[in-house]
């Protein structure tokens, strides 16, 4: 089971259909069994049952989840694959003590892969859609995987199966989500 976590400002918000719905569709089309939970309602039993977690993105000004860092303490101890998308990358980074800084990005950007990783399946460059108000500083224990001209676009923990993407793969790069699924046992 893939636990898909909605980071939007409130459970059931209209943003859910824009940021969580496409991830849910990609997972179902790939044969995965997603369970959707808002970050305020994800329970220890949800986490226990999950084979992997995807932390979904949010609307530009929607950063309320960052005011509740304690709700993400489980990330460092989860031990199974996690993919943080846009705001999900910020939550992932915050769980490891990283801070954020304002650096808005909206629209298409060219991404350069700087460290080979199965997530990118041998690609060296690709176009991606970004929609973010903030970027995260690189957390301790992580390495950059991909960059744009303005910021780090993808990170990975050096020893745990934890990934963060600043861009939105559900818009133009669905193959990244399916490659993430390939990492799930």
3-state secondary structure of 45: helix
Considering the entire predicted model, what is its pTM?
0.96
Q: How many CB atoms lie within 10 A of CB 14?
A: 9
Strands 100-113 and 142-147, how do they pair?
Answer: antiparallel
Question: pLDDT over 70 for what percent of the chain?
Answer: 100
185 residues of the chain, pLDDT tens digit each: 999 999 998 787 778 899 999 999 999 999 998 999 999 999 999 999 999 999 999 988 788 888 877 889 899 999 999 999 999 999 999 999 999 999 999 999 999 999 999 999 889 999 999 999 999 999 999 999 999 999 999 999 999 999 999 999 999 999 999 999 999 97
Number of domains within the chain: 1
Q: Name residue 38's beta-bridge partners.
A: 6
Q: Which of 142, 156, 182, 170 is nearest to 58 (CA)?
A: 170
CATH number of the domain to which 109 belongs: 3.40.50.880
Domain range enclosing 109:
2-182
For 87, how many CA atoms within 13 A lie in the half-sphere containing its CB?
A: 24
């Amino acid at each position: 089971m893939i636990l898909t976590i909605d980071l939007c400002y409130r459970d059931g918000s209209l943003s859910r259909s824009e940021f969580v719905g496409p991830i849910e569709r990609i997972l179902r089309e790939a044969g995965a069994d997603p369970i959707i939970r808002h970050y305020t309602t994800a329970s220890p039993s949800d986490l226990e049952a999950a084979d992997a977690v995807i932390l979904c993105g949010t609307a530009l000004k929607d950063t309320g989840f960052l005011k509740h860092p304690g709700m993400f303490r489980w990330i460092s101890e989860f031990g199974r694959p996690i993919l943080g998308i846009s705001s999900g990358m910020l939550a992932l980074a915050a769980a490891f003590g990283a801070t954020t800084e304002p650096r808005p990005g909206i629209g298409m950007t060219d991404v350069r892969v700087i460290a080979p990783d199965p997530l990118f399946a041998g690609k060296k460059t690709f176009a991606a859609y970004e929609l973010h108000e903030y970027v995260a500083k690189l957390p301790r224990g992580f390495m950059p995987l991909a960059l744009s001209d303005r910021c780090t676009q993808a990170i990975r923990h050096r020893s745990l199966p934890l990934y963060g993407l600043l861009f939105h793969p559900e818009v133009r790069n669905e193959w990244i989500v399916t490659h993430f699924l390939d990492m799930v046992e």
